[in-house]
Structure 1
Amino acid sequence: MLKLLRYLKPYRTAVTLVLVLIFLQSLSSLYLPYLMSNIVDVGVVKGDIPYIIKIGGFMLLVTIIGGICAIFAGLFASKASAGFGQILRSKVFTHVENFTLHEFDQIGTSSLIVRTNNDIMQVQQLVNMMLRMMVMAPLTAIGGIIMAVYTDAKLSLIIVVVMPVLGLAIYAVLGRGISLFRVMQEKVDILNRVLRENLTGIRVIRSFGRTPYELHRFDAANLDLTDTSVRVYKIMAALMPMMMLIINLSTLAILWFGGIRINDGAMQVGNLMAFIQYVMQIMFSVMMVSMMAFMIPRGQASAVRIHEVLQMVPEISDPISEKMTGETRGDIEFRDVTFSYPGAQEPALAHLSFHIHAGETTAIIGGTGSGKSTLIHLIPRFYDIDSGSILVDGVDVREMSQAHLRAKIGFVPQKAVLFSETIAQNIRYGNENSTDEEVRKAAEVAQAYEFIATMKNGFDSVIAQGGANVSGGQKQRLAIARALVRKAEVYIFDDSFSALDFKTDANLRAALKKEVAGATVILVAQRVSTVMDADRIIVLDDGKLAGIGTHKELMNSCSVYREIVESQLSEEEIA
């Protein structure tokens, strides 16, 4: 938690003002019992009405000043804590943006969402309470003890007995609460994951009639979280009755022994009343700390989870000194590349060596799980390889900045992802400086202009969340348009034509050939008809290079490719 408090630095002025205002508020609350004792011992006992009015008016003034200090302290504390939360969310989001796909897999998307929203909110609330209660409580407690001893030193021995008992009670509760709150946040992660999977997969769930199963799965996660929450709050609930019992017994002891001292003439009634108020203030301070006990364990658990994210160092980082690429644009070479996913027993790709010359169209084909998508994910350096090297324009990708490398690439993923913005904004995502004419041209080449024109607002039509208001083929075409508007040196299409009919596929490939002439094009496809015309075809089999060459060359030299072709085309088409 302390490591996160450094993000309060921009609000140190507000924090300082809170401390000063809380100090003044505490002084006012400590001064009031002293004034009240004077009213009783001097004004009431002697029947001095003017004195009572005078001191009573002064008490009212002190109360108003204390109230104003409390209001402004709350205002500045809220401002500082809200700003702290904003900075922390920004830091976490910015840091997560630098994560590789491995880090996302390691923590989990659902957990990252919970940590960025729920956990930061818990810490923000804790900071707000700490700036007020955790500052006010010790000031009031210490001041109350000093004033109680000043009022009657002997009677103050009761405080010496009570305070350790209160401390032990709070420590016992906090000790058990911290670990359980961490478990509770993990249960929130699980519940969030189940909920997210249900919402994103609602079509699959309904199509297979698995709604009852998913309801059971959600209920199980929900019940698990509820049980843990009940266990935590049962422990916390035991604190308040213990506190009230101790406070009431303390008050009874003060009245008992105070009455004896008044009877002996060693103490005045006003002093006893003031002493009781000081003890109540001390107890109230301890109660404030106990109220914090409901927030500290959960806030601490959340702070640890946030710190874990901020401390995680991305596996992929930019080099200290970047090497510049040569004059060639779009030249890619794999040199004995081997790559394994974390925890995998066998490499996903093993000893791959090939050269994609600038301006060529290269197709990658192979069976399911052969490593096609993995291969193209290595070019923009989504993962780092185990051994070997990948060169783009003659420079190892590990010796280039990620921004420089990816600026060369127009990437169309296997699963088209669209954002909840207009169609124009989604296409312009590839190049924010593109003109309306360039956006329209990219849509035409991607065979998307026709269906865009039929929509009510055309390019200003808003895409629903997850692209729910467009079909799979339309998503793919918009994703292709987004890559084309980038005007990249290298275009990578990861099975990006799978949802298109044969006519649209053929028209798109014909338009692409003219539009990206001179650029390097890499196609990953399942259809042989999509890759037959490529300048070069790379055939993968179980992560290894099974063959490389043109369609005719591979038909004669590569049995894996020949099997794929024969499974898709008739003898007449092959001939």
Structure 2
Amino acid sequence: MLTSLLHTHVRRRLPSLALILAFQLIQTTAALSLPTLNADLLDRGVVPGDIGHVLRTGAWMAAATVLQLAASVGAAWLGARAALDIGRELRAAVFGRALAGAAHEVGRIGVSSLVMRTTSDVQQVQMFCLTMCTVMVTAPLMCLGGIVMALRQDVALSGVVAVVAPLLALAVGWAVRRTRPLFRDLQHRLDVTHRLLREQITGVRVIRAFVREDHERARFDRANTGLLDAALRTGRLMAVLLPVVLLVVNASTVVVVWAGGHRIADGTLRVGALTAFLTYLAQILASVMAAGSLFVLLPRAEVSAERIREVLDLTPGPSPTAAPGARLPRMAPRGPVPPAASDRIPPSGAGHRKAGDHPPTGRTTQALELSGVEFRYPGAEESVLRDVTLTVRPGELVAVTGSAGAGKSTLLNLMVRTFDPTSGAVRLGGTDIRALGRAELAGAIGYAPQQPHLFSGTVASNLRYAKPDAGDEELWRALRTACADTFVTGLQGGLDAPVLQGGNNFSGGQRQRLVVARALVHRPAVCLLDDPFSALDQATEARLRTALAGEAMTAVVVTQRVSALCAADRVAVLDEGRLIGVGPHADLLDSCPTYREIVLASTSGEAV
């Protein structure tokens, strides 16, 4: 999994990796030459007292040291740059897939887990790449070169290397095999703790309101303790590995010094050769430990790579590109346009257009149609929507209502193409929206979701989300339509007033109106509003409905407010995913028992 994840990123950096290999080869060659030069300096310079030889050999050692330092710095810089670039690309890939993936699959992984995969998991893979760039050539070359050079100094003492190196390799292999499941459990517990912490911080007001601090502390303590236990299990294993490695290294050094001392006393080994052998032994063991550090990082990097790959393999959401030749029909020119006979909306009581009224200024010639639409979440046994057929005529305001879980928000999500229907089609202006590019669809549709979300920045930056080049006058026009201009004017800075993450420095009603204004900035042909009046008082709701009625657009509004249902041109009633009634408010009161129950429940049984 780790290899397949990194393959493309590594292939793009082959020139840089080749340069890293060259630097590491120079670094290793210089490092291996130093013990031999040192032995020569001792045996042929210091012992016989040849100062000239000492100076000449010392100069060569100084040159080798400078060369080793320069190559080491170059390899480290290039390796760090490559690893950091790979980390940046992986984060961008995970973020991009989270944005473009199918909504239900992104929701299955969860926000907290996505954050951890984008940060912590990518960091683990990046750290592995950095270590690999540092030791991928140095460790094996240093180990093999050290063995060869040690054999040149003394064959008999090299038997210690033949025993010690396999012992270290076995210790590291044992640790790697044991740590892989431990790291997988550790990453899972990090996810759980992060998700719980995010949930509790977000809901701190609810926790305080119900005096549930002790309960939530206990929940967090359980998750936190589980994370501690997982970290301790991994830490204990690492704590055992390091002393074992040090014991083997130190014991081998003692054995070499003891045996070498006897050889020097016998006159069969020179002091310089023993010194060089000890240095080569240290280099060999250091290279084995460096390779071991890479293999210790490997299990956690593999687990992280699996989690990253799970995000990258998410089913993509709706395609952002249009089908060849697919485009929306041209809109009617701005200005009063007499309605065609098929576009006239029948009178249905107070709050409706009267027969013969002209449509709002700038009405478009587009309609929004749903034909036999069914939607089922992948893996679900039941469909959320079943055989929904509805036509929203140009310039018409249709209210969608129904009990909780009836599929109202899902219906709007299909219209804005968050999801594609399992069967059937959604058409805008006679064109299946699946054939349209997302940019073209977004330009034709304004959408205000049920949860009014604002991004950190300013009021203006949030409003320009739908139209980045919108001028201030366009922003104020949208704010006036959404009845948000009054409170924005009162803010310090006006349009440049700061917005905190999620819009938490605004009330629920203010956030709702800003989200509606954002949906209207680019003057869409169709506006989809999901429960836009829920946080508004009746007076503000009435002003907002009046302002929306003056806009040149088709509108679909999900609402339970009876006043909004009465003011709609038609009402569509959903029940358990089926469209059971469509018509004016007054007609549905007589013909649709479910609708009458909804209205009576909302008005406490008063006459309507």
Q: Is the structural similarity TM-score above 0.5?
A: yes
TM-aligned CA distance change 1:571 to 1:131, over 3 Å: closer
CA separation in 1, counterparts of 2:600 and 2:256?
Answer: 97
2 CA distance for matches of 1:222 and 1:78?
Answer: 33
Q: Offset at 1:112?
A: 0.5
State the Cα distance separating 1:166 from its structure 2 match: 1.5
Counterpart among 60, 76, 79 of residue 77 in structure 1: 79
191, 194, 218: which is aligned to 1:192?
Answer: 194
Secondary structure in 2 matching 1:486: coil
Measure, in 1, the Cα distance between the counterparts of 2:321 and 2:438.
Answer: 9
2:374 maps to amino acid: T
Label 1:551 to 1:320 Cα distance change in 2 as closer, same or farther (>3 A).
closer
Whether 2:397 is the aligned partner of 1:379: answer no
CA distance 1:440–1:327, shift in 2 (3 Å): closer
Question: Secondary structure of 2:105's match?
Answer: helix
Cα distance change of structure 1 residues 45 and 225 upon mapping to structure 2, 3 Å threshold: same
How much has 1:275 moved relative to structure 2?
1.4
Residues in 1 aligned to 2:174 and 2:270: alpha-carbon distance in whole angstroms:
38
The equivalent residue for 2:490 is 454
Structure 2, gaps ≥5 residues long: 332-364
Alignment match, 2:249: 247
Which residue in the other structure is 2:399 paired with? 363
For 1:130, which of 125, 129, 132 is the aligned residue?
132
Q: Please name the residue that 1:36 is paired with.
A: 38
Amino acid at match of 2:440: H
> Could you say what secondary structure the match of 1:415 adopts?
coil
Contact between 2:172 and 2:296, CA under 8 Å: does it hold in 1? no
Q: Which amino acid aligns with 2:41?
A: I
Distance in 2 between the 1:555 and 1:78 partners? Answer: 70
Separation of aligned partners in 2, 1:64 and 1:348: 71
Distance of aligned partners of 1:289 and 1:196 in 2 relative to their CA distance in 1, 3 Å threshold: same
Residue aligning to 2:60? 58
Name the counterpart of 1:350: 386
Q: Indicate whether 1:104 and 2:106 are aligned.
A: yes
Partner amino acid, structure 2, of 1:355: T
Cα distance in 2 for partners of 1:91, 1:170 equals 33
Whichever residue aligns with residue 586 of structure 2, its letter is K
Query: CA deviation digits over 1:237-280, x for unaligned, max 9?
Result: 11111112222232233234434544555432221221121111
**Offset, 1:103:** 1.5
Range moving further from structure 2, 262-271 or 297-306: 262-271
1:113: which partner in 2? 115
2:598 to 546, 558, 564: 564
In structure 1, the residue matched to 2:542 is 506
For residues 145-544 of structure 1, the aligned pairs below 5 Å read: 145-262=147-264, 265-314=267-316, 316-317=318-319, 321-322=323-324, 323-327=326-330, 329-514=365-550, 516-517=551-552, 519-544=553-578
- What SS is found at the alignment partner of 1:2? helix
Q: Render the CA deviation track for 1:353-391: whole Å, top value 9, x for unaligned.
A: 222222211110112222111111111221222222222
- Equivalent position amino acid for 1:221 in 2: A
For the 8 Å contact 1:37–1:273, the answer to whether it is kept is yes
Q: Would the aligned equivalents of 2:175 and 2:296 in 1 still touch at CA under 8 Å?
A: no
Gaps of at least 5 residues in structure 1 are none
Cα root mean square deviation, aligned: 2.0
Contact 1:103 1:314 in 2 (8 A): no
Q: Quote the Cα distance in structure 1 between the aligned partners of 2:128 and 2:605.
A: 73
Shift of 1:570: 7.7
| Partner secondary structure for residue 528 of structure 2 | strand
- Separation in 2 of the partners of 1:212 and 1:420? 32
Amino acid in the other structure paired with 2:395: G
CA contact (8 A) 1:523 1:531 kept: no
Counterpart Cα distance in 2 of 1:404 and 1:300: 41
Amino acid in structure 1 at the alignment position of 2:308: I
Once the two structures are superposed, what CA deviation does each residue of 1:307-332 show, in whole Å capped at 9, x if it has no partner?
22112232544578343344575422
**Structure 2 match to 1:3:** 4
Which residue of structure 2 lines up, in the alignment, with residue 555 of structure 1?
A: 589
CA contact (8 A) 2:169 2:292 kept: no
**Which amino acid is 2:190 matched to?**
V
456-465 or 255-264, larger mean C-alpha shift: 255-264
In the other structure, the counterpart of 2:88 is 86
User: In 2 relative to 1, CA 444–165 (structure 1 residues): closer, same or farther, beyond 3 Å?
Assistant: same
Residues 59-90 of structure 1, C-alpha deviation per residue, up to 9 Å, x if partnerless?
12221221222223222222222222112211
Runs of 4+ in 1 over 6 A off after TM superposition: none
Decide which moves more: 181-190 or 127-136. 127-136
Judged with a 3 Å threshold, the aligned counterparts in structure 2 of structure 1 residues 226 and 330 are, in CA distance, closer, same or farther, namely: farther
Q: Distance in 1 between matches of 2:328 and 2:495?
A: 37
Distance 1:434 1:244 in 2: 66
Is the Cα contact below 8 Å between 1:37 and 1:270 reproduced in 2? yes
SS in structure 1 at match of 2:47: helix
Q: Cα distance, 1:11 vs. partner?
A: 4.3
The answer as to whether partners of 1:319 and 1:398 remain within 8 angstroms in 2 is no
Displacement of 1:92: 1.6
Tell me, in whole angstroms, the C-alpha distance in 2 between the residues paired with 1:266 and 1:479: 88
Question: What is the Cα deviation at residue 569 of structure 1?
Answer: 3.9
Aligned-residue sequence identity (percent) comes to 40
Q: Deviations over 1:142-171 (max 9, x none)?
A: 111121122223432322222222111110
Letter in 2 for 1:405: L
Contact 2:588 2:595 (C-alpha < 8 Å) held by counterparts: yes
AA in 2 matched with 1:20: A
Residue matched to 2:353: none
Q: Which amino acid aligns with 2:81?
A: K
1:545 maps to what in 2?
A: 579
8 Å contact 2:100–2:317 — kept in the other structure? no
